C-alpha cells in the first residue's frame, strides 16, 4: 500500500500515465485540436532555421505562381481556354523553381563548402536531404496539376466549336489544330516525357508504396527497396532536364522574354554553373 502511494523511481518512470493521457487526448476533441494547433509552434520554437526557410520557399513559390499566372488572367487566350490556363502556367513556373533548387541539397561538394561559411548560422544545411525530399514532393504535385490543367486547355484549344475564340487568340495562325496534332506536338511529347520521368523518380524514391507494410516483404517490395534501382531511376533526371529545354513554345510571343527566347534555359543552365 505504501509502495502504491509512493512509487519508487522505476515505477514513476513508466509510461502508463503518459499512455492514458495520450488516449484521453485522442478521444477528446479539444485535446486533439490543441495538440494539432500547437505542433507548428513547437516546430518553429525547436527548429527556427527550418521554419524560416519553409516560409522563404513558400513566399518564393507563391511569387512565381502569381507572376506567371497574372500574365494569362485576361486576354483572348484566357477566354479560349478558361481559368485552367493561368493555373497551368503558374504551376509550371513553380516546377521550374523546384527543379532549380532540388539538386543543390544533394550536391556534396557544394554543401560541404557552404557548411564552412557563415551562412550555416542561418540556413539549415544539415537538413539538406529533407529539403530535397520536400522539393521533390512539391514538384511532383505541381507537375500533375500543370498537366491536368493543360488537358482542359488542349480540349478547348482543339474544339471546332471555339473556332472564333481560337482565331482571336492566335490571329496569325490560319488553321486551328486538331486534337491529334496537339497531342503529337513537340510541347505535348516533351511534357509527357517530363511527367513520366518525374513520376518514376518520385515513386521509386518515396517511402510509399515501396515501404508500405503490405509491400515490404513481397518480391516487388524487395526490388523497389534496392538502392541501386533508386539511383539508376534518378538518372532519368537528365532526360527530364533535356526535355524541359524543348517543352516551351518560344515561337509564341507570350512564351518569349525580352531576348526572344524561352526562359527555361535560365533554370536548366543553373546546373552547369
Print the SS3 string covering 236-252: CHHHHHHHHHHCCCCCC
pLDDT confidence of residue 214: 76
pLDDT confidence of residue 197: 96
* Residues 183-203: tens digit of each pLDDT: 998 889 999 999 999 999 998
Higher pLDDT, 110 or 197: 197
The residue-averaged pLDDT of 44-71 equals 87
CB-based burial label for 240 (10 Å; 0-12, 13-18, 19+): buried
- Contact status, residue 94 vs residue 64, Cβ threshold 8 Å: yes
- Contact status, residue 86 vs residue 73, Cβ threshold 8 Å: yes
Of 105, 106, 131, 111, nearest to 50 by C-alpha is 131
Q: Would you say residue 130 has pLDDT above 90?
A: no
Query: What are the grid coordinates assigned to 199, written together?
Result: 513520376
The residue-averaged pLDDT of 143-148 equals 96
Q: Would you say residue 13 has pLDDT above 70?
A: no
Give residue for cell 561538394: 109
- Contact status, residue 131 vs residue 105, Cβ threshold 8 Å: yes
Mean pLDDT of the chain: 80
Query: What are the grid coordinates assigned to 60, written together?
Result: 518564393
H or E element at residue 44: helix 29-46
pLDDT grade for 7, boundaries at 50, 70 and 90: low
pLDDT confidence of residue 95: 94
pLDDT confidence of residue 258: 42
pLDDT confidence of residue 147: 96
Query: What is the SS3 assignment for 170?
Result: coil
The residue-averaged pLDDT of 60-70 equals 94
Query: What are the grid coordinates assigned to 58, written together?
Result: 513558400
Q: Would you say residue 32 has pLDDT above 70?
A: no
Query: What are the grid coordinates assigned to 55, written together?
Result: 516560409
This prediction has a pTM of 0.76
Q: 50-57 contacts: CB < 8 A, separation 24 or more? A: 50/124, 50/127, 52/122, 53/123, 53/124, 53/131, 57/134
Q: Give the rounded percent of residues in the chain with a pLDDT score beyond 70.
A: 74
Q: Would you say residue 272 has pLDDT above 50?
A: no
Q: Give the rounded percent of residues in the chain with a pLDDT score beyond 90.
A: 33
Range of 113-127, 139-153, 230-244, 246-260 with top mean pLDDT: 139-153
Q: Would you say residue 43 has pLDDT above 80?
A: no
> Which of 14-28, 116-130, 152-166 shows the lowest mean pLDDT across its residues?
14-28
pLDDT confidence of residue 259: 42
Dmax over CA atoms of the chain, in Å, equals 96
- Contact status, residue 137 vs residue 123, Cβ threshold 8 Å: no
- Contact status, residue 38 vs residue 115, Cβ threshold 8 Å: no
> Which of 34-43, 225-234, 250-259 shows the lowest mean pLDDT across its residues?
250-259
- Contact status, residue 55 vs residue 81, Cβ threshold 8 Å: no
The residue-averaged pLDDT of 166-194 equals 90
H or E element at residue 66: helix 48-69
Amino acid at each position: 500500500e505504501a509502495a502504491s502511494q509512493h512509487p519508487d523511481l522505476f515505477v514513476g518512470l513508466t509510461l502508463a500515465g503518459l499512455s492514458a493521457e495520450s488516449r484521453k487526448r485522442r478521444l477528446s476533441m479539444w485535446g486533439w485540436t490543441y495538440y494539432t494547433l500547437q505542433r507548428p509552434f513547437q516546430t518553429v520554437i525547436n527548429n527556427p532555421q527550418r521554419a524560416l526557410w519553409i516560409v522563404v520557399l513558400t513566399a518564393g513559390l507563391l511569387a512565381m505562381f502569381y507572376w506567371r499566372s497574372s500574365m494569362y488572367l485576361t486576354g483572348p487566350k484566357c477566354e479560349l481556354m478558361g481559368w485552367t490556363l493561368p493555373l497551368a502556367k503558374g504551376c509550371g513556373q513553380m516546377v521550374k523553381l523546384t527543379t532549380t533548387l532540388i539538386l543543390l541539397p544533394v550536391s556534396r561538394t557544394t554543401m560541404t563548402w557552404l557548411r564552412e561559411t557563415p551562412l550555416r548560422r542561418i540556413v539549415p544545411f544539415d537538413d539538406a536531404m529533407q529539403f530535397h525530399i520536400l522539393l521533390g514532393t512539391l514538384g511532383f504535385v505541381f507537375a500533375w496539376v500543370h498537366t491536368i490543367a493543360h488537358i482542359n486547355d488542349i480540349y478547348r484549344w482543339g474544339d471546332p466549336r471555339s473556332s472564333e475564340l481560337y482565331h482571336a487568340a492566335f490571329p496569325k495562325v490560319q488553321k486551328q489544330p486538331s486534337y491529334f496534332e496537339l497531342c503529337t506536338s513537340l510541347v505535348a511529347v516533351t511534357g509527357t516525357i517530363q511527367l513520366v520521368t518525374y513520376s518514376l523518380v518520385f515513386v521509386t524514391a518515396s517511402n510509399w508504396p515501396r515501404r508500405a507494410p503490405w509491400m515490404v516483404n513481397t518480391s516487388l517490395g524487395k526490388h523497389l527497396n534496392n538502392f541501386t534501382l533508386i539511383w539508376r531511376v534518378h538518372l532519368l533526371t537528365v532526360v527530364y532536364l533535356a526535355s524541359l529545354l524543348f517543352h516551351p513554345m518560344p515561337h509564341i510571343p507570350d512564351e518569349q522574354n525580352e531576348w526572344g527566347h524561352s526562359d527555361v534555359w535560365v533554370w536548366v543552365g543553373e546546373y552547369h554553373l
